[in-house]
Amino acid sequence: MASHRRAKQPGRTRVTVLTATAAAAVALTSQGANAAPQPSKNEVKAKVDKLYEEAEKATEKYNGAKEEQDKLQKQVDGLQDKVARGQEELNTLRNNLGAVASAQYRSGGLDPSLQLFLSADPDTYLDKASALDQLGSKHSDAIDEIQSKQRALAQQRKEAQTKLTDLAEARTELGAQKRQVQGKLNEAQKLLNSLTAKEREALKEEQDRANRASTASRPDLSKVDKSGGASDGKSAKPASSRAAAAYAAGVSKIGKPYVWGASGPNSFDCSGFTSWSFAQADVQIPRTSQAQANAGQRIYSQSQLKQGDLVFFYDDLHHVGFYAGNGQILHSPRTGAVVRYESINNMPFKFGVRI
């Protein structure tokens, strides 16, 4: 008689393990199928460069907010000093008037005719009486002066309070722009951190190589028009003595790093570099690139540019540098770069400005 045995069923624990393993395998397969591929080094570089450009835009807004804050702070300080001086003058006037009133009160105990009768020297008394009449007139003038000073002081205090309110708003705007710049830079750093150490090193070497190449020597100006004309777009004849001095100051800072919000002498952003350079030539120009665009005569043709002219880029004019000659500019480019020469065609040129 045949023997039939029932097949052994797998234990509950074994089934659970097998099920979990299968589920995990399915999940991993699904994730592998749906996961986006890691961006390449070049793709990351393009995104980082874009973020650096956006950070530069925000930097110029930050510079504008900082300039406004500094201007308001000076105005507030001046008004507060004026109020303090006005209060001191008012206190002095009040004290003087109080002293006069007190003296009159003390001398007013006797009737004037009796004082004259009792006086050993009537002529001296009459002189004093005349002086007292004049003093009464001065007394009235002093009261008028005090009232006028009080009105002026109230107006100055009101103006100072308004400026303090404006200053608080400027500080809020400054903080917002600072956070925006830092946010862009942090985002760029996260992208760089997503690369392998080898890829990051390769990008750094590319940037270092670009810095070395563009700071090692000046642009080739051997074909400069010796007559000083700029019709071929290659003239290095300075636009003016002021521009020549500013450009020379800029050249002395080649190799200094770009730092957002910096205006020298050891680090610069783009407009900080140009404003610092002109300051060395005893020429004060605005701090931001957008304001510098209105600081002189505009030149729309590259062929008319001369060495030392300011050159502006992008529709919103968020970048500025110096024209160096032969189609080259001298500027402080962006985060990670240094003050260096570069082709004017590397960015969308808008116009030049001659100071």
Residue 80: how many CA atoms within 13 Å on its side-chain side? 10
270 noted as active-site residue: yes
Contacts 24+ apart (CB under 8 A), 157-160: 157/83, 159/79, 160/76, 160/79, 160/80, 160/83
318 noted as active-site residue: no
DSSP conformational letter for 352 = E
Give the residue from 308, 266, 309, 260 showing the smallest Cα distance to 288. 260
Is 96 exposed, middle or buried (CB count within 10 Å of its CB: 0-12, 13-18, 19+)? middle
Roughly what angle, to the nearest 10 degrees, separates helices 241-251 and 270-280? Answer: 120
List of residues 6+ apart from 122 with CB closer than 8 A:
116
Rounded to a whole number of angstroms, the CA Rg of the chain reads 39
Please tell me whether residue 22 adopts helix, strand or coil conformation: helix
CA dihedral 106, 112, 117, 119 (to 10 degrees): 40
- As given in the structure block, the two tokens for residue 221 are 């100006």
Give the residue from 2, 59, 31 showing the smallest Cα distance to 290. 59
- Residues with a catalytic annotation lie at 270, 319, 331
